[in-house]
Amino acid sequence: MIVKKYPRRGKKIYRHKLSNGLEVVVASKPDHVRSYAFFATRYGGMDLRFQLDGRWLDTPAGIAHYLEHKMFDTEEGNVLQEFAKNGAYDNAFTSNAITAYYVECTEHFYDNLRLLLRFVSVPYFTGESVEKEQGIIAQEIRMTEDDPDWRVYADLMECLYKDSPVRIPVAGTVESIRQITPQTLYDCHKAFYTPSNMILVCVGNLDPEQVIRTAEELLPETGGPVIPRDYGQEESLFPVRQEHRRTMEVAMPMFLAGYKCRLQESGDAHLRQSIIGDLACDVLFGDSSPLYTRLYAEGAINGSLGGNFDLLPGAAYLYVGGDVKDPRRVFDAINAQARRLGEEGIDRDFYEQIRRASYGQMIRSLNSFENIAVSMTEGYFRNFNYYHFPEVFETVTKADVEAFLRENVTPERAALSIIDPAE
């Protein structure tokens, strides 16, 4: 077991890789009564095409999310009832690249950890239960498709990308989930729910040795092979379509603009690009930026303007949007400001203000059990240690952020999704 102290973060981390390939991480929180376990696999909504036992499988859109739902069913019944008996809260989520299951409690932690490891590792599906779940998830999908916030994002992804599965909703469609069978679910579990493709992160006042022993007792002795995945052909840095408009029942127009960015796949370069992208967002349209202040004073935005920078398998993009009177006017203003900052430079005092605020936010995020678990998981799957972010952060300069804006936030890289109010 490796023990790492991070004095600048005030943290102590224990790491150990089991013989089956599972990475076990324990973040020590000696002054807390709450404990948290996070068991995740590098498998998400984008992993639709992969190779298993020497053959390529094309699986239905939404299957990772569907599998997450079905894992709570065991031969003995629904595992949520068992967690409730122990006074624990258990849940899960599926993103584009990760499926994770977690439990939090104030007592009986190791009993709850055993439950978590057992039900995630042992699949149990029947034709009847799979068919029943289709109706439940189909209803969720229909509700989501009627949500303007989701719709404007989905339209944007279809504008930006041609082949990448990032353009496909994580939950799939009503039509795609009808193709899911128990055998398909077993195939996906066999491929991706193996110790060597997973990580266990535990946070709290815990005994690292006991966490490791529990994982060794309950999980398979061997891990599975590396699973080749296909995310489609390499994408151009230019969008497939520059604009999409639709009408929905909204009070005022809403928009989302996206910019395709060059991708750093893994390692510290991935973490560094994430930091640069986040700083670029804050500098360009953050709520203390000159652009935000001006547009708000002019009445062009109402306080809802915001965005982010995302890095996914084979895809990177910056997006910004909100509820505005004139989406095209705000979009043009964002492009003009990005060009100005890229060419003329960012005010040094303002950059230092943003830089300090961003660094402080990253430090504070380590007070959250959930943020620790998610950040350590994403770092492990992308081959970097999130706790090294202060050292990586120090390498980022104002010129790096200016270059990012100059190269990536341009009209040529952009697509615009707009939802107009129905008359």
Q: Token pair for residue 171?
A: 């939950």
How many residues would you count in the chain? Answer: 423
Residue burial 238-264, b: 16+ Cβ < 10 Å; e: rest: ebeeebbeeeeebeebbbbbbbbbebb
Whole-angstrom distance, CA of residue 133 vs CA of residue 122: 19
Whole-angstrom distance, CA of residue 339 vs CA of residue 295: 17
Beta-bridged to residue 245, according to DSSP, are 418
Whole-angstrom distance, CA of residue 242 vs CA of residue 155: 11
Whole-angstrom distance, CA of residue 208 vs CA of residue 349: 44
Whole-angstrom distance, CA of residue 412 vs CA of residue 257: 12
Beta-bridged to residue 221, according to DSSP, are none
Residue 167: burial class (beta carbons within 10 Å; 0-12, 13-18, 19+): buried
Radius of gyration of the CA atoms of the chain, in A: 23
Cα-Cα end-to-end distance for the chain: 64
- Residue 68 a catalytic site member: yes
Q: Token pair for residue 115?
A: 């439950």
The helix/strand/coil state of 363 is: helix
Whole-angstrom distance, CA of residue 140 vs CA of residue 120: 23
Residue 281: burial class (beta carbons within 10 Å; 0-12, 13-18, 19+): buried
Taking a C-beta distance cutoff of 8 angstroms, is the pair 74, 124 a contact? yes
Show Cβ contacts of residue 75 under 8 Å, excluding neighbours closer than 6 positions. Answer: 124
Strand order from edge to edge, sheet including 35-41: 2-6, 11-17, 23-28, 198-204, 35-41, 99-105, 89-94
Catalytic one of 23, 68, 133, 235: 68
Q: How far is CA 12 from CA 104, 198, 299, in A?
A: 20, 22, 48
Whole-angstrom distance, CA of residue 13 vs CA of residue 102: 19
* Residues with catalytic roles: 68
